[in-house]
Amino acid sequence: MKKVYSVEEYIETNAHFEDALLTLRHLIHTTELQETIKWSAPVYTIKDKNVIGLGAFKNHFGIWFFNGVFLKDNHNLLVNAQDGKTKALRQMRFESLEEIDKDLVLAYIKEAIENQKLGKEIKPVRNVKKALCIPNELQNLLDNASAFRLAYEKLTPGKQREYCEYIIEAKREATKQSRLEKIIPMIVAGVGLHDKYK
């Protein structure tokens, strides 16, 4: 995709749908949405929150509703571009200028604006940290040596995880034991497994 720096340049780049894109842009300009360029495409925001975007492709063009999943869509105009992957985003697609029902499109845009004002949006899910899995060899040491356990508990969760994974990754029992012997003084000293590389 060609990098563009203005909506005019985007429309010029997609000249095969120029009239249609100008029509949609004019409709959007009748609302309070602010026009900007993001990801080399026109995006319309309210209070810096993405509400809709314009998109043009080889055979179709349309409007992206960033939180379109919350639109009522009584007329079944919206599609999910990637079923099973896209959670909130919905598209309203057209193949020609004549397909645009201005009043209907404007109603969807106004509903999207209202939904954004109400705070309706799907928040991105952050990667949930896996529970720390302490290998048996290390757990035995922690259970039987209180000074060692205190030193281990003072480590950051990240350093604890590094040590656990270091033991778990060893295939042979002898390797697990030699690794355990190596890390005991490091844990007591309060250093992480990879600190010397940081």
The tens digit of pLDDT for each residue in 98-110 reads 999 999 999 999 9
- Tell me which residue of 161, 180, 160 sits closest to 170, measured CA to CA: 180
The tens digit of pLDDT for each residue in 80-100 reads 877 767 788 899 999 999 999
Per-residue model confidence (pLDDT) at position 22: 93
Give yes or no for residue 41 having a pLDDT over 70: yes
> Range(s) for CATH 3.90.1150.200 in the chain?
7-117
Give yes or no for residue 146 having a pLDDT over 70: yes
Per-residue model confidence (pLDDT) at position 151: 92
The CB-side HSE value for 37 (13 A sphere, CA atoms) comes to 12
- Tell me which residue of 122, 123, 30 sits closest to 68, measured CA to CA: 122
Q: Is residue 133 a contact partner of residue 164, using CB atoms and an 8 Å limit?
A: yes
CATH class, 7-117 region: alpha beta
- Tell me which residue of 186, 137, 182, 179 sits closest to 159, measured CA to CA: 186
Give yes or no for residue 128 having a pLDDT over 60: no
Note the helical H segments in 145-198: 146-154, 157-168, 173-188
Q: Is residue 65 a contact partner of residue 18, using CB atoms and an 8 Å limit?
A: no
The pLDDT-based confidence of 197 (bands split at 50, 70, 90) is low
Give yes or no for residue 43 having a pLDDT over 80: yes
